[in-house]
């Protein structure tokens, strides 16, 4: 199993540009989520999905869009990048059910200038 | 609202000594608690969890955590620290109501183990 994979590993954007961060998992997990990690703030939930076709907002959803057309893939779209979106982004997945731990991807380091 | 607190930004310990990384929580109902570790430039890795049962939970890499309901704490421990344990550690709690899978993370504690 590859687990949770994310691409790209690094990205530099100019303010106003858009891009998509890719996330895929091969563990047949129902639940997938996107977090951002900023110094001193831990991880904050951006969006999550409990299954194909179902998404919902997390703690900090503004400026981001998601879709879940398949069980495996959960891309995160930045609509119009802003310097405040400079961060490290992690995708995670797990089986449905609150007792299960989440598996994390290696992260994407995004810089917006 | 559910929350977790990690009161120490950094913990320093000498190799071979016991280590403790602190976590306290505030939840409605029974807590589902998790510890994760993040090595430099890597994603988070699951260490252990408390759902129910024994208050002492054993996990990966020789780590364990003690759930204390009266003190609302879930401290991470290891009897003998290794230099390779140096990393960023996160405590997390499952959000309530439990029909979601959302996790709420603490701000993290950096563990530095000195040779």
Reported as a single tens digit per residue, the pLDDT across A47-60 is 999 999 999 999 89
Predicted confidence (pLDDT) per residue in B80-108, tens digit? 999 999 999 999 998 766 556 788 899 99
The predicted model gives A31-38 an average pLDDT of 94
Q: Which residue of B has its CA nearest to A93?
A: B101
SS (H, E, C) B59-80: CHHHCEEEEECCCCEEEEEECC
Mutation target vs A (from B6, B37, B44; most A CBs, 10 A cutoff): B44
Q: With an 8 Å Cβ cutoff, are B101 and A31 in contact? A: yes
- Among B9, B92, B101, B106, the residue to mutate for chain A (most A Cβ within 10 A): B101
pLDDT in tens, B41-53: 888 999 999 988 8
Q: Worst-scoring range by mean pLDDT, A30-34, A63-67, A95-99, B61-65?
A: A95-99
């Amino acid at each position: 199993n590859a687990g949770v994979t994310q691409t790209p590993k690094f990205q530099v954007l100019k303010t106003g540009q858009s891009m998509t961060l890719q996330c895929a998992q091969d563990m047949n997990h129902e639940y997938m989520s996107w977090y951002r990690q900023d110094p001193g703030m831990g991880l904050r939930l951006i969006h999550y999905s409990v299954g194909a076709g179902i998404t919902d907002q997390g703690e900090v959803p503004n400026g981001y869009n998601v879709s879940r057309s398949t069980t495996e893939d959960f891309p995160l779209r930045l609509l119009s990048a802003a310097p405040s979106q400079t961060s490290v982004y992690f995708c995670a997945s797990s089986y449905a059910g609150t007792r299960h731990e989440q598996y994390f991807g290696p992260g994407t380091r995004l810089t917006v200038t | 609202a559910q929350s977790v607190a990690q009161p120490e930004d950094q913990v320093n310990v000498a190799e071979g000594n016991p280590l403790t990384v602190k976590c306290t929580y505030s939840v409605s109902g029974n807590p589902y608690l998790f510890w994760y570790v993040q090595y430099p430039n890597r994603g988070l890795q699951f260490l252990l969890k408390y759902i129910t049962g024994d208050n002492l939970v054993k996990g990966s890499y020789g780590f364990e955590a003690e759930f204390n309901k009266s003190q609302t704490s879930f401290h991470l421990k290891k009897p003998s620290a290794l230099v390779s344990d140096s990393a960023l550690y996160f405590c997390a709690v499952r959000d309530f109501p439990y029909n979601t899978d959302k996790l709420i993370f603490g701000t993290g504690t950096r563990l530095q183990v000195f040779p």
